[in-house]
Amino acid sequence: MMPAAAIEFRGVWKGFHRHTGRLLLRSHVGNWISGRREVEKFYALKDLSFRMEHGESVAVIGANGAGKSTLLSLVAGLAPADAGGIAVNGRVAALLELGSGFHPDLTGAENVRLNAALLGIHRERMKEIYPAIVEFAEMGDFMDEPLRTYSAGMIMRLAFSVAVNVDPDILLIDEVLAVGDHAFQLKCFEKVFQFRQRGKTILCVSHVSSMVQQLCSRALWLDHGELMLDGSIAEVCGAYEGSSSVQG
Amino acid sequence: MSARDLGAAATKDQGAVKCGISMAASAPSLSPIVARPRSRWTGDYLFLIENLILKDIRVRYRNMSLGVLWSLLNPLVMMGVLWFVFTKIYDTQIPHFAVFALCGLVPYNVFTLSWLTGTTSLVESATLIKRVPVPREIIPISAVLSNCVHMSCQLVLLLLLVALTFGGVNRYWIFLPVVWFLEILFVVGLALISAGLNVYVRDVRYVVESANLVLFWLVPIFYPLSMIPMKFREIYRFNPVAALVLASQRILVEGVYPQTSLLLQLAASSILVCALGFVVFRKLRTGFYNYL
């Protein structure tokens, strides 16, 4: 038998209902009276199967609406699949949207604690990593100022610093490497690269193809929820860019 | 199982769910089939709840120049008005009627506000729920708890007022924490159910508001239990909010033991509703991502 994969999808389907006033009572009553039970659905992922070993770094590429973010949500356990099997072995940290749960009226320090707690960091560990977070974000004296006085770049730097200090086995990244100025982007990239060096598993979604090509060895190309190609990063990026330049 | 079978099954929700389970059973290499949102989060529950409560409190008070004073001023004004109406204008023949009414009103306020904040909490934290795999139960629970912390000012004021009016405390006050703890259990259960439903049907919050309004008159706040006809009294005592108000009034105003049967009924209904809340929430939360 093969050793357990880091992430394995087998025939995964994920659909969403179309929202047309469905969240209101009248539509429920209407459906109940007319006996209409079927709701129109569209599928963000269609019969998706792939397997990632521990220590692999894989990029997901594809046009907008191809199902890339849905794929990461399923791996992160945010949403259940409609059909098929999903196996994830290891501690997952999802950098899906940086700063989820940040509040403008709280200070940087308060937001860091809240965000870390949400990401699953324990109280004792928080004490240990707090100086590292502040240092990595290059915040210094600003930690006790309310977040609304920060620039967008500062908020992103802070959020990224918390997220990379979770120390996961599997890191999910959704378009978040484009953070802050060029120097900070390099620093973030370096940090993610260190994860890779330490044998962690990385699954990322990005349009920044030069970064992706350096970071990942393999890529999945999704188009309208279907897996078009699964292969080496150069091969898949070449095929994807070829197809989009033909269309556009 | 072929892709075609899966596709056919996926067109119906029921079929799709069954399919996922049979898949798990037939594919041992996929043994940790993790489709439930909660299972990936291995964080510190207490640390998270503490931070969520602190966030609510800080956000509430940071933008007020008088801060916590507002939380005291509000109930103080309410107490003053009640005292004026029920001593100077409307004579009820019931001694200390203003204090009596407050002993009902304050627990009722805690209940209704907590329930309502809990109900809307999930929808208001939609972005969080769609982006962070945090256990969803935490959101309504911490909303209820932070509201209780906020309302504790009112409870302290009420206790002070009672102590001043009746000249000190009586030994039955030790039952107050028990009674209020049971109330929190009850609200947590109710809020889990209503918050979960509110994700699917956004009208639920208005149902909760109406229910609170009806409840106001079905709880003996402005009339004593003795005015209720005998045949309705037993029904009243099974309403946990009424039981809570009755227990508070007995302890604080009458200074008597709140009756074992009353406490048992309150405990039974609160624990039942709380457990039911967690069970129902587990069923509801699978669809949160799609509906938020």
Within 8 A of B128 by CB-CB distance, chain A residues are 100-101, 118
Per-chain mean pLDDT for chain A: 82
Q: Which residue has the tokens 């090509």?
A: A213
Nearest chain A Cα distance for residue B135, angstroms? 9
Q: Which of B40, B50, B54 sits opposite A77 (nearest CB)?
A: B40
Higher pLDDT: A52 or A247? It is A52
Question: A88 is written with which tokens?
Answer: 């994830």
Token couple for A105: 């009226």
Give B256's DSSP letter: S
Chain B residue numbers with beta carbons less than 8 Å from the beta carbon of A123 are 44, 46-47
What is the mean predicted confidence (pLDDT) over A37-66?
A: 83
Best residue in A49, A114, A148, A173 for a mutation probing chain B (most B CBs within 10 Å): A114
pTM of the model: 0.82
pLDDT for the residue numbered A247: 52
More confident: B11 or A188: A188
Chain A nearest C-alpha distance from B137 (Å): 13
Interface probe, candidates A69, A118, A173, chain B, greatest B C-beta count within 10 A:
A118
CB A166 within 8 A of CB A94: no
Q: What is the rounded CA–CA span in Å between residue A117 and residue A107?
A: 15
Q: Which of A222-236, B3-17, B39-53, B67-81 has the lowest mean pLDDT?
A: B3-17
Q: pLDDT per residue over A149-175, tens digit each? A: 888 778 888 888 888 887 788 888 887
> Of A50, A96, A47, A10, whose CA–CA distance to A225 is shortest?
A47
pLDDT at A197 over 60: yes
Query: pLDDT grade, residue A76 (50/70/90)?
Result: confident
pLDDT at A192 over 90: no
Answer yes or no: are the C-beta atoms of A88 and A170 closer than 8 Å: yes
Nearest-CA distance B210 → chain A (Å):
15
Q: Give yes or no for residue B32 having a pLDDT over 70.
A: no
Lowest mean pLDDT, pick from A29-38, A150-159, B223-232, B233-242: A29-38
User: With an 8 Å Cβ cutoff, are A123 and B46 in contact?
Assistant: yes
What's the mean pLDDT in B18-34? 38
Distances (CA, A) of B80 to A69, B156, B219: 56, 16, 22
Partner-chain contact B13 A82, CB within 8 Å: yes
pLDDT at B31 over 50: no
First vs last C-alpha separation in chain A = 45
Of B130, B141, B46, the C-alpha closest to A126 is: B46
Say if CB B216 and CB B132 are below 8 A apart.
no
A96 CB neighbours in chain B (<8 A) are: 131-132
Among A23, A47, A85, select the one facing B33 at the smallest CB separation.
A85
pLDDT category of residue A80 using cuts at 50, 70 and 90: confident
- pLDDT score recorded for residue B212: 92
- CA separation for the pair B101, B245 (Å, rounded): 10
> What is the distance of C-alpha A245 from the center of its chain?
26
Please, where are the H alpha helices in B63-174?
Answer: 68-84, 97-124, 126-131, 138-166
Nearest to A103 among B10, B59, B289 (CB): B59
Mean pLDDT across chain B, nearest whole number?
81
Name residues 27-56 of chain A within 8 A of B (Cβ): 28, 41, 43, 46-47
- Give the residue with greater pLDDT, B218 vs B6: B218
Distance from B181 to chain A by nearest Cα, in Å?
Answer: 25
A173 contacts on B by Cβ (under 8 Å):
none
**Who contacts B187 (Cβ-Cβ below 8 Å, separation ≥6)?**
B111, B114, B115, B118, B144
Count of A–B CB contacts within 8 Å? 166
Closest by CA position to B37, among listed A220, A67, A102, A88: A88
User: Cβ distance A211 to A189 under 8 Å?
Assistant: yes
Cβ-Cβ contacts under 8 Å for A38 (sequence gap 6 or more): none
Nearest by CB: B35 against A2, A16, A80: A80
- Residues B195-227: tens digit of each pLDDT: 999 998 888 999 999 999 998 888 888 888 788
Distance CA A32, CA A21 (A): 14
Burial A16-38 (b: 16+ CB within 10 A, else e): beeeeeebeeeeeeeeeeeeeee
pLDDT at A8 over 60: yes
Q: Do B44 and A101 touch (CB under 8 A)?
A: no
Contacts of B51 in chain A (CB under 8 A): 113-114, 117-118
Q: Do B132 and A113 touch (CB under 8 A)?
A: no
Q: Phi-psi category of B267—alpha, beta or left, where left has phi over 0 and alpha has psi -120 to 50?
A: alpha
- Confidence label for A22 from pLDDT (cuts 50, 70 and 90): low
Mean pLDDT of B104-112: 91
Of A76, A101, A110, the CB nearest to B40: A76
Looking at CA atoms only, how far is residue B37 from chain A in angstroms? 5
Confidence (pLDDT) at B117: 94
